[in-house]
Structure 1
Amino acid sequence: MDRIRLRGLLRDADEIRSLAGRAVRLLDVVNGAAPVVDTTGAVHVDAADGGVDILPPHRWEWPADLYAWAAVRHHHPDFEGHVRDLVSVVVRVDGLREPAARAGSGILGRMFGLGRVDPTAESAATDLLLLLADTTTGWTVTTVREALDVARRAGELQRRSGVRLTTGPEGPPPYLVEAAQAAVRRGYGGDPGTIDFDRIDAAAFAGARAAVERVLRHPDSEPALRGEAEKELEALGRRRARQLMEQLPLDALKRVTDDRLRFTGLPGIGVTSVADVLDTPVDRLTSVNGIGTQTAQRMRAAARTLESEAIAQRTPHIGDEPCREAVALTRILARYERVDVLDEAERARRDRLIDLFRALPDVPPGGSYDLIVRGTGARELLLDDLRWAEAGPALLLPTSVTDPGPAAWEDYLARPAHYQALLADLLRLDTVTGEEPELLDTALIERIRELRLKRGLLRELHLRGYQSYGARFAVVQRRIILGDEMGLGKTVQAIAVAAHRAEEKTEADGSVGHTVVVCPASVVVNWSRELATFCELEVFVAHGPDKDVMAKAWRDRGGVLVCTYDGARNLALGSPDVLVVDEAHMIKNPRAKRTIACTALAAASDTVLLLTGTPLENRVDEFVNLVRVVRPDLVTRGMAELDAETFRKHIAPVYLRRNVEQVLDQLPERVDEMEWVALSDADENHYRRSVAAGSWMDMRRAAWLTPGGRSAKLDRLAEIVGDADTAGRRVLVFSFFLDVLDAIAGALDDRVVGVIDGSVSPEGRQELVDSFSRAPGGSVLLAQIHAGGQGLNIQAASVVVLAEPQVKPTQEDQAVARAHRMGQTGTVHVHRLIGADTVDERMLEILAGKRTVFDSFARTSDAAGVPDAVDISEPELARQIIAAERRRLGLDGSTEPEETTGDGGGD
Structure 2
Amino acid sequence: MAEFTRPELDALLRQAAEVAERAARAQQLIDAPRTPPRAPGAVSLGFIMLPPGAVAWPPRFYALLEIDGLPNSWGRIRQFLSAAGVISLLRERAKDAAPSILGRIFAGGRIEQARAAARDLQARLQDHSFQALDAEVARYLELAELADLLQSRGVRLQPGGPADHLLPAVRTAVEKTLGAPGSTFVSHDAEAQSRVLARARALAQDPHSEPALRREAERLLDALTAERADLLLRQLPVDALKTATNERLRFTGLETIGVSTVADVLATPTGRLTQVPGIGETTARRLRAAAETLRQEAVGTHSTGIGDTPTAAATALVRLLAQFDQLTALDEIQRARRRRLLAAAERIPAAGGVWDVLVGEGPEWNEFLDDIAWADIHPELLAPARPVSVSGDSWSDYLSRPAHYQALLSTLLDLQVEGGEDLAADILARIRALRLDQTHLRDLHLRGYQSFGARFALVQEKVILGDDMGLGKTVQALAAAAHLHASGQRRTLVVCPASVLRNWEREARRFTDLPVYRAHGPERGEAVRAWESEGGICLLTYDGARTTTLAAPDFVVVDEAHFIKNPATGRTRAVRALLDAARYALLLSGTPLENRVSEFATLVSFVAPELVSTGMSEMAAADFRKRIAPAYLRRNQADVLDELPERLDQTDWIDLTPADERHYAAAVEEGNFMAMRRAAMTTPGSVPAKLERIQEIVEEAAEAGRRVLIFTYFLEVLDRLEAALGARVVGRLSGQVAPATRQSLIDDLGSAPAGSVLLAQITAGGTGLNIQAASVVILVEPQVKPSIEAQAIARAHRMGQTSTVLVHRLIGDDTVDERMVEMLAGKAQLFDAYARPSESAQVDDAVDVTEGQLAEAIIRAERERLGFGA
What is the TM-score with the length of structure 1 in the denominator? 0.49
Say which of 599, 605, 608 aligns to 2:585. 608
Q: Does 2:524 align with 1:547? A: yes
Q: Secondary structure at the match of 1:486?
A: coil
Say which of 747, 763, 766 aligns to 2:724. 747
Amino acid at match of 1:789: G
Q: Does 2:418 align with 1:442? A: no
Structure 1 residues 301 and 750: alpha-carbon distance in aligned structure 2, compared to 1, 3 A threshold:
closer
Structure 1 residues 850 and 868: alpha-carbon distance in aligned structure 2, compared to 1, 3 A threshold:
farther
Alignment map for 1:236-251 (pairs within 5 Å): none
- Measured against aligned partners, the alpha-carbon deviations of 1:265-323 in whole angstroms (never above 9, x if no partner) come to xxxxxxxxxxxxxxxxxxxxxxxxxxxxxxxxx996659879999xxxxxxxxxxxxxx
Q: Which residue number in structure 1 is paired with residue 569 of structure 2?
A: 592
Say which of 525, 532, 538 aligns to 1:561. 538
Q: Which residue number in structure 2 is paired with residue 767 of structure 1?
A: 744
Say which of 473, 476, 488 aligns to 2:471. 488
Instruction: Say which is worse superposed, 432-441 or 625-634, in terms of deviation.
Output: 432-441
Structure 1 residues 617 and 676: alpha-carbon distance in aligned structure 2, compared to 1, 3 A threshold:
farther
- Measured against aligned partners, the alpha-carbon deviations of 1:99-157 in whole angstroms (never above 9, x if no partner) come to xxxxxxxxxxxxxxxxxxxxxxxxxxxxxxxxxxxxxxxxxxxxxxxxxxxxxxxxxxx
CA shift, 1:749, in A, is: 2.2
CA shift, 1:585, in A, is: 1.5
Q: Which residue number in structure 2 is paired with residue 795 of structure 1?
A: 772
Distance 2:706 2:469 in 1: 11
Check the 8 A contact 2:671/2:859 in 1, yes or no.
Answer: yes
Distance 1:307 1:642 in 2: 42
- Measured against aligned partners, the alpha-carbon deviations of 1:798-843 in whole angstroms (never above 9, x if no partner) come to 0100010011112211110110111101111101111111100111
Structure 1 residues 836 and 443: alpha-carbon distance in aligned structure 2, compared to 1, 3 A threshold:
farther
Say which of 587, 602, 605 aligns to 1:628. 605
Q: Secondary structure at the match of 2:806?
A: strand
Distance 2:365 2:587 in 1: 32
Alignment map for 1:621-770 (pairs within 5 Å): 621-665=598-642, 669-770=646-747
Q: Which residue number in structure 2 is paired with residue 452 of structure 1?
A: 435
The gaps in structure 2 that reach 5 residues or longer are 1-205, 209-295, 301-331, 334-358, 371-407
Structure 1 residues 821 and 300: alpha-carbon distance in aligned structure 2, compared to 1, 3 A threshold:
same
Distance 2:687 2:461 in 1: 39
Q: Which residue number in structure 2 is paired with residue 783 of structure 1?
A: 760
Structure 1 residues 559 and 666: alpha-carbon distance in aligned structure 2, compared to 1, 3 A threshold:
closer
CA shift, 1:747, in A, is: 1.7
CA shift, 1:562, in A, is: 0.3
Amino acid at match of 1:503: A
Q: Does 2:455 align with 1:472? A: yes
Structure 1 residues 432 and 450: alpha-carbon distance in aligned structure 2, compared to 1, 3 A threshold:
closer
Structure 1 residues 753 and 446: alpha-carbon distance in aligned structure 2, compared to 1, 3 A threshold:
farther
Distance 2:429 2:560 in 1: 23
Distance 2:635 2:432 in 1: 18
Q: Does 2:841 align with 1:848? A: no
Distance 2:641 2:505 in 1: 27
Distance 1:819 1:532 in 2: 32
Amino acid at match of 1:813: A
Of all paired residues, the percent bearing the same amino acid is 55
Q: Which residue number in structure 1 is paired with residue 515 of structure 2?
A: 538
Q: Secondary structure at the match of 1:797?
A: coil
CA shift, 1:889, in A, is: 1.0
Distance 2:764 2:680 in 1: 22
Say which of 819, 842, 864 aligns to 1:865. 842
Structure 1 residues 586 and 306: alpha-carbon distance in aligned structure 2, compared to 1, 3 A threshold:
farther
Check the 8 A contact 1:517/1:562 in 2, yes or no.
Answer: yes
CA shift, 1:615, in A, is: 6.2
Check the 8 A contact 2:825/2:834 in 1, yes or no.
Answer: no
Structure 1 residues 538 and 728: alpha-carbon distance in aligned structure 2, compared to 1, 3 A threshold:
same
Q: Secondary structure at the match of 2:436?
A: coil
Distance 1:690 1:434 in 2: 50
Check the 8 A contact 1:433/1:666 in 2, yes or no.
Answer: no
Distance 1:306 1:596 in 2: 46
Q: Which residue number in structure 2 is paired with residue 6 of structure 1?
A: none
Distance 2:409 2:653 in 1: 33
Q: Secondary structure at the match of 2:518?
A: strand
CA shift, 1:793, in A, is: 0.9
Q: Which residue number in structure 1 is paired with residue 231 of structure 2?
A: none
The gaps in structure 1 that reach 5 residues or longer are 1-186, 190-221, 227-254, 257-297, 310-428, 506-511, 897-907
Alignment map for 1:176-325 (pairs within 5 Å): none
Structure 1 residues 299 and 800: alpha-carbon distance in aligned structure 2, compared to 1, 3 A threshold:
same
Q: Secondary structure at the match of 1:609?
A: strand
Alignment map for 1:817-896 (pairs within 5 Å): 817-849=794-826, 853-854=832-833, 857-859=836-838, 861=839, 863-892=840-869, 896=870
Check the 8 A contact 2:594/2:621 in 1, yes or no.
Answer: no
Q: Which residue number in structure 2 is paired with residue 517 of structure 1?
A: 494
Alignment map for 1:113-152 (pairs within 5 Å): none
Alignment map for 1:349-498 (pairs within 5 Å): 436-439=415-418, 442=421, 445=428, 449-498=432-481
Distance 1:476 1:599 in 2: 21
CA shift, 1:447, in A, is: 9.7
Distance 1:303 1:625 in 2: 39
Check the 8 A contact 1:433/1:669 in 2, yes or no.
Answer: no
Distance 2:440 2:519 in 1: 22
Amino acid at match of 1:502: H
CA shift, 1:473, in A, is: 1.0
- Measured against aligned partners, the alpha-carbon deviations of 1:533-583 in whole angstroms (never above 9, x if no partner) come to 111111111111111111011111111100012222232222211110111
Q: Secondary structure at the match of 1:724?
A: helix
Distance 1:581 1:868 in 2: 43
Distance 1:649 1:306 in 2: 28
Distance 2:429 2:770 in 1: 40
Distance 2:366 2:715 in 1: 61
Q: Secondary structure at the match of 2:749?
A: helix
User: How many matched pairs?
Assistant: 477
Distance 1:430 1:493 in 2: 18
Distance 1:602 1:486 in 2: 24
Check the 8 A contact 2:707/2:775 in 1, yes or no.
Answer: yes
Instruction: Say which is worse superposed, 573-582 or 441-450, in terms of deviation.
Output: 441-450
Distance 1:492 1:694 in 2: 39
CA shift, 1:634, in A, is: 2.4
CA shift, 1:640, in A, is: 2.9
CA shift, 1:493, in A, is: 0.6
Distance 1:709 1:435 in 2: 49
CA shift, 1:725, in A, is: 1.7
Distance 1:755 1:615 in 2: 29
- Measured against aligned partners, the alpha-carbon deviations of 1:598-638 in whole angstroms (never above 9, x if no partner) come to 22211211211000112648653322221111122222344
Structure 1 residues 683 and 432: alpha-carbon distance in aligned structure 2, compared to 1, 3 A threshold:
same
CA shift, 1:849, in A, is: 1.1
Distance 1:305 1:838 in 2: 58
Distance 1:810 1:451 in 2: 45
Structure 1 residues 619 and 822: alpha-carbon distance in aligned structure 2, compared to 1, 3 A threshold:
closer
Distance 1:440 1:490 in 2: 14
CA shift, 1:452, in A, is: 2.4
Check the 8 A contact 2:708/2:776 in 1, yes or no.
Answer: yes
Distance 1:720 1:440 in 2: 24
Say which of 477, 482, 485 aligns to 1:499. 482
- Measured against aligned partners, the alpha-carbon deviations of 1:210-250 in whole angstroms (never above 9, x if no partner) come to xxxxxxxxxxxx9xxx9xxxxxxxxxxxxxxxxxxxxxxxx
Check the 8 A contact 1:446/1:473 in 2, yes or no.
Answer: no
CA shift, 1:871, in A, is: 1.3
What RMSD, in angstroms, separates the aligned Cα atoms of the two structures?
3.4
